[in-house]
């Protein structure tokens, strides 16, 4: 696709979202606890008072009850699907079984892996396989379904609804779970696959996700690359000191 074609598609999607919205909330109250909006405001203020501490995993996390699928082969790479229990369960069964896909080039002898974070509202792996195909032909990539996305979406919800909905505290909770799940995935990549995570790539919210404390354990041990669609800004993450590019 040409750059003009890509920009045309993105423009159509933005127009659609402005007119029709991302999703509907026929019962917005179901996203709140017993304390309603006031409780949500208090929880948000408490989390935001020390956001790095709120997000950071506690101790060394492991991927418990891990299951691996047989490899699925593409032309120049193969992938397997891996599932394990979330180390920070939300109480929603579909969401609390973490899933990630590990892509490896054909004939791969790499011992390092790049972690990729997807955008919001995603439900189809094939979209991101197309996006990552050229990279997956060269280096191993681990892409984890964020909370409430892909197969982690509860029945009756649309993908990402558990992250972004009328209760803003659900976003804090989901990003924290994403941090904890990723650290457990890192442990699995090292212990079960013999792969050392060496960087993070993200798109849209996935580009801002790695700027939070908790990515890759010791975030300053190696570089992070982040891509995003949006406003066009460069700033330094206060949690990690790495540059985030939003282009």
Could you report the per-residue pLDDT of 82-133, keeping only the tens digit for each? 999 999 999 999 999 999 999 999 987 889 999 999 999 899 999 999 999 9
pLDDT at residue 244 greater than cutoff 50: no
pLDDT at residue 218 greater than cutoff 70: no
**pLDDT class for 240, splitting at 50, 70, 90?**
very low
Contact predicate 157/165, CB 8 Å: no
| Confidence at residue 159, expressed as pLDDT on a 0 to 100 scale | 93
The predicted model scores a pTM of: 0.80
Evaluated on CA atoms 212, 214, 216, 217, the torsion sign reads: positive
| Confidence at residue 232, expressed as pLDDT on a 0 to 100 scale | 37
Q: How far apart are CA 185 and CA 99, in angstroms?
A: 9
Give kind and range of the element (H or E) at residue 44. Answer: helix 36-49
**pLDDT class for 5, splitting at 50, 70, 90?**
confident
**CA–CA distances in Å: residue 62 to residues 53, 72, 188, 207, 223:** 20, 25, 7, 24, 24
Average pLDDT, the chain: 83
- DSSP three-state, residue 144: strand
| Confidence at residue 169, expressed as pLDDT on a 0 to 100 scale | 96
Domains of the chain (ranges, CATH numbers):
36-246 (3.40.50.1820)
Q: How far apart are CA 16 and CA 12, in angstroms?
A: 6
Share of residues in the chain with pLDDT > 70 (%): 77
DSSP letter, residue 145: P
Could you report the per-residue pLDDT of 39-54, keeping only the tens digit for each? 999 999 999 999 999 9
Give kind and range of the element (H or E) at residue 196. Answer: strand 196-202
Average pLDDT over residues 184-188: 96
Could you report the per-residue pLDDT of 128-179, keeping only the tens digit for each? 999 999 999 999 999 999 999 999 999 989 999 999 999 999 999 999 999 9
pLDDT at residue 64 greater than cutoff 60: yes
- DSSP three-state, residue 71: coil
Q: Which residue has the tokens 């750059």?
A: 3
């Amino acid at each position: 696709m040409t750059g003009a074609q890509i920009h045309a598609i993105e423009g159509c999607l933005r127009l659609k979202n402005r007119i029709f919205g991302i999703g509907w909330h026929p019962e917005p109250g179901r996203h709140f606890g017993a304390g309603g909006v006031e409780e949500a405001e208090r929880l948000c203020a408490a989390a935001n008072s020390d956001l790095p501490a709120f997000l950071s995993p506690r101790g060394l996390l492991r991927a418990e009850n891990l299951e691996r699928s047989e490899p699925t082969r593409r032309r120049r790479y193969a992938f397997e699907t891996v599932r394990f229990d979330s180390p920070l369960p939300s109480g929603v069964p579909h969401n609390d079984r973490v899933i990630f896909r590990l892509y490896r080039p054909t004939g791969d002898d790499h011992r390092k892996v790049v972690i990729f974070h997807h955008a919001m509202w995603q439900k189809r792996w094939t979209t991101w396989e197309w996006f990552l195909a050229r990279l997956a032909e060269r280096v191993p990539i681990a892409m984890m379904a964020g909370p409430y996305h892909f197969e982690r979406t509860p029945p009756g919800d649309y993908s990402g609804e558990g992250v972004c909905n009328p209760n803003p505290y659900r976003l804090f909770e989901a990003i924290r779970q994403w941090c904890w799940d990723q650290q457990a995935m890192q442990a699995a990549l090292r212990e079960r696959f013999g792969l050392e995570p060496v960087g993070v790539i993200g798109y849209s919210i996935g580009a801002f996700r790695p700027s939070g404390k908790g990515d890759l354990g010791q975030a300053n041990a190696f570089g992070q690359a982040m891509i995003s669609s949006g406003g066009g800004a460069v700033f330094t993450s206060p949690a990690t000191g790495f540059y985030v590019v939003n282009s």
